[in-house]
Amino acid sequence: MSAPAARILMVEDDSEIGRLVGDFLRREGFELTLAPDAEAMDEALAHSRPDLLILDLMLPGEDGLSICRRLRAGDSIPILMLTAKSDEIDRVVGLEMGADDYLTKPFGPRELLARVRALLRRAQAGPSRPASRRFSFDRFLLDLDARSFAPAEAGLAPIALTSAEFDLLACFAQHPRRVLTRDQLLDWTHGRNADPYDRSIDMLVSRLRKKLDAAAASGDLIGTVRNGGYLFKAEVRRLS
């Protein structure tokens, strides 16, 4: 008895692309459902969970990044993100939001097929141990699940962080020693409500920097990269 066909849900508002991809993948033995937007996707997910989600980045209403973030909050379904943008930052943000792989339009059907099969193989191999969300750096301990930030040494005064400051610190701790752009930080801390012209992220970084530097052993934990963004300089260890 042959194994049942893998079920794929494709969220794509371009009906022509959806038709071509759907016809191709069905010929390769997959079951494919097409949804033009987030609302139709949610309706399809309410009926059955697919084995793989193919998600376009640019969608009407809720975009692909927001959808990806929302799904990742409660599901481990493999996500292949499609994007017409060639900028590296769009691909990086997509992967950081939880996409398992990306494919830039226009793409060849064989490349799409190879990536689909690779993601399905990885999913069928079984779940890996989830990465710890506890970190240590300088003289601090950060626990993302408990939303706690405390000194690692006895006798040190605690640092009170606002919710927004904690979320920003979480971004830095998970991506240490790499330049993070303002747009990335805005998207990760403000989500789909982010305003690209919002300068509040700079004020938030300034407030967090002052609090950390006042208590850190090394000081100057958050650097500014001209025309780039911000860099968390601390050596961060992920705790078991």
Could you say which of 61, 89, 124 is where a domain stops? 124
Q: How far apart are CA 165 and CA 3, in angstroms?
A: 49
- At 211 the pLDDT is 92
pLDDT by position in tens, the chain (length 240):
455 789 999 999 999 999 999 999 999 999 999 999 999 999 998 888 899 999 998 899 998 888 888 887 777 788 998 887 655 555 666 666 678 888 888 889 999 999 899 888 887 765 555 567 899 999 899 998 888 998 887 777 778 889 889 989 999 998 899 888 888 888 777 654 445 555 778 899 999 999 999 888 877 899 999 888 899 999 999 887
CB 133, CB 145: distance < 8 Å: yes
Any idea what DSSP says for residue 118?
H
CB 12, CB 56: distance < 8 Å: yes
- At 193 the pLDDT is 47
The residues with which 232 forms a beta bridge, in sequence order, are: 222
Which CATH number goes with the domain that contains 118? 3.40.50.2300
The reply to whether 164 and 219 lie within a common domain is: yes
The reply to whether 160 and 235 lie within a common domain is: yes
Could you say which of 124, 143, 165 is where a domain stops? 124
Q: How far apart are CA 238 and CA 187, in angstroms?
A: 23
The reply to whether 53 and 107 lie within a common domain is: yes
Beta strands in 84-189 (DSSP E): 101-104, 134-137, 140-143, 148-151, 179-180
The reply to whether 107 and 40 lie within a common domain is: yes
- At 117 the pLDDT is 92
What phi, psi does 54 have (nearest 5°)?
-100, 120
Structural domain tally of the chain? 2
Q: How far apart are CA 25 and CA 114, in angstroms?
A: 11
The reply to whether 111 and 138 lie within a common domain is: no
The reply to whether 47 and 107 lie within a common domain is: yes
Could you say which of 101, 124, 147 is where a domain stops? 124
Q: How far apart are CA 80 and CA 114, in angstroms?
A: 12
Q: Is residue 1 situated within a structural domain?
A: no
The reply to whether 119 and 12 lie within a common domain is: yes
Structure-token match 């927004």, residue found: 164
The reply to whether 159 and 88 lie within a common domain is: no
Helix, strand, coil % in the chain, rounded to nearest 5: 40, 20, 40
Q: How far apart are CA 222 and CA 210, in angstroms?
A: 9
Range of the domain at 162: 134-239
Q: Is residue 105 situated within a structural domain?
A: yes
- At 85 the pLDDT is 62
Beta strands in the chain (DSSP E): 7-11, 31-35, 52-56, 79-83, 101-104, 134-137, 140-143, 148-151, 179-180, 222-225, 229-232, 237-239
* Assigned token pair, 50: 């697919």
- At 194 the pLDDT is 47
Which CATH number goes with the domain that contains 235? 1.10.10.10
The reply to whether 116 and 142 lie within a common domain is: no
> pTM score > 0.75 for this model?
no
CB 86, CB 104: distance < 8 Å: yes
- At 196 the pLDDT is 52
The reply to whether 32 and 99 lie within a common domain is: yes
Q: Is residue 39 situated within a structural domain?
A: yes
